[in-house]
Structure 1
Amino acid sequence: MSSIRESTATRLKVLSNREEEWNLRMEMVNSAQRFLVLTTYYFGNDERGGKMADALLAAARRGVRVVLVLDRFGQRLAQNLSRPSQRPWLQERLREIAEAGGLVVHYSPQSLRHRLVGGGVHVKIQVSEGGVAVFGSSNIAHHSFAQWNEVSLELEGDVVAHLLREACRFARLSDDEAVALAGFLPVPRVSAATRRLRYVREDPAGRSGRFFPFGTVHNRLTDELVNLMDSARRSLCIASLYCKPAPALKAALLRACRRGVDVEIFHSHRDSLGVTQFPWIAASIQYGSVLKAGARIYENRAGEHSKMLLVDDREVAVGSYNLEHAAHDRLIEAMIFSDDVETCEHFRALFETMRRNPGNAALTPVWLSELPLQLQVKRWLCRPLQRWI
């Protein structure tokens, strides 16, 4: 089901530098003495995944309560991004973490219908007893820390306890254990300045109709993003792996364009995944109407994996929700909303950096005619399936 919670942070740092976030995550694991809880869509069969797995194993062996949540469907997808020879190694390391006393959860929805269409948990949270939480877009994999653009938040304050409870929920821990782990967190400083935040999480499996995947899915996080987009008066900046939004979000985007809002979309080039172009094909089917409405679309060849919406430089949403059908009707997603002036200024500067990045190429009016004929045929054939790819 959905969760909307007002909270505060005594510290909020935007993590866009890949090595800075990686070093923070590793330091949290290496210094943990009581617990380390980590949720991710997938764990890479690569050097980064190996280093994190080794660190988690070492933590479990020294008595730390290690809880690792992977999405079962997401982990299967990740196999396509790795060499076959690496796959048994990762499974062995996860087995060793469990044998050392850690808990490794391969999350699947309880609903068979949602399992069959790739439902699961897409929220990325890392928390330890040090009182710091990391929340954002990054998976534990090479692509997230050595190729794609990502954005996460480093947080301290009351919001950390809530993120810990959320991660424990995904791990399906008992209420007693979740409370016990929260008891190890330091008490937030009363005298510290705080920033107001709003955390919104939705589980579509709990709000789908009896005939799902047919019919309407009611998603409160989608509704919150629609409301945010509808509040735009001057500018709307969007970053997503691929922008192929559900109808409600597509309609909000077009309404913003009709109001004269300056709409910019930053997402990935068709070659960024390497193994497939189908997600880009599904997104490109939306290009015509979006460009005609006046929006600008930038494609990043290396890959844009952050999930951000900035409205009028005054309110931002950041987290795990890609603007795509899967985020609306299949995956558990979460976003943090903030109207904090300093935070919004950081995201304004971040989007300005993205505009100036030569790796972000703006689509031209002749983009479609420049596509290879084979790719144009694939776009035509995939049009009826765009919701699912």
Structure 2
Amino acid sequence: MIRVLIADDSAIVRAMLGQVLGDDSRFEIVGMAENGKHAVELCLELKPDLVVMDINMPILNGIDAIIQIKEKMNPAIVAFTTEDTAEIGYKCLDAGAIDVVQKPNLATMNRHKIENFCDQLTIISEAYRKHMEKSNELRNIYYAQSLAKEIIKGKNTQPEKQEQLRFSVLAIGASTGGPVAIQKLLRALKPLFPLPIIITQHIDEVFDTQFAKWLSNTTGHEVKTATDGEILQAGHVYIAPSKKHLMLKKKSDRNYAIVLDDSEEVHFLKPAVDKMFTSCAEVVGSKTLAILLTGMGQDGAQGMKKIHDAGGYTIAESEKSSVVFGMPKAAVDMNAVTRIEDLDYMGEIIRTITGATRG
């Protein structure tokens, strides 16, 4: 059973959320806090597995409360945001929240929405628990098809110079835990990266623009929400907007344009990583460098297999560093991966195989 602490300054929200989660046998509501200070105190006393944290609260806001909690203990923290607080919500990720979710309208939630909401919190909490358990024990050594590296001891085996390839596009897919992983990877790639970077992150509608702004402000890269027909430029980062699949079409040799596709969902997702990766396999082919980061489910595995079969270079995040190893594992199981890599080393590996400078 997942022990939950709810922190929200609205008594109505606390009561309704408590009822929704309390009616689900997977949850036990151990405490409710009306402000951030009280949330910190209750966390230390009750030691919950999951904290649902509002952002705008009196005495101590959600961001500062997350920082103080993380200094002393490590529960899974989910930040509740609305459209008005979406930008602030990403600061919760910097503070240590595992995910940012849109605050549901509890007054209009039907049975299906309630089940999906509870499922989402369950998956996040359980995945984080497993992630933390694995982070505290030795890991298996992962071997990729042609390259191997002992990631447990941190031996950073770099590809030889003759193995370096020339690429046209870096494509990144992610889901749960992805925003922080993407932020970390972009920071490691550093500004003036020689390739255009396209990203599909499973994201709610109110968060896509703010996601791009947050990455721009915290990574040193020029990040924007992708627009239809835009020509990819080296060193620029393009985020798939909510409710549109990000795809590519070829304009000329090594020049590609963005296509925002409004076709049906894939794996009940839009945008879908599989759509982006499949497009890269068909349009960019062997000049694609594809990365699949943390995320639940299997989105991206089939598309990564197509890139791999087309001669592209594919990297899956290791179980060691993934918050949720679902999507990377699906690609590994499908033999779609050239290399399995811990997130801490991934940036340097990418810079090496793309010939990026160290500046």
Note whether the superposition's TM-score is higher than 0.5.
Answer: no
Higher relative contact order, structure no. (Cα contacts within 8 Å, ≥ 6 residues apart): 1
TM-score normalised according to structure 2 size: 0.31
TM-score normalised according to structure 1 size: 0.29
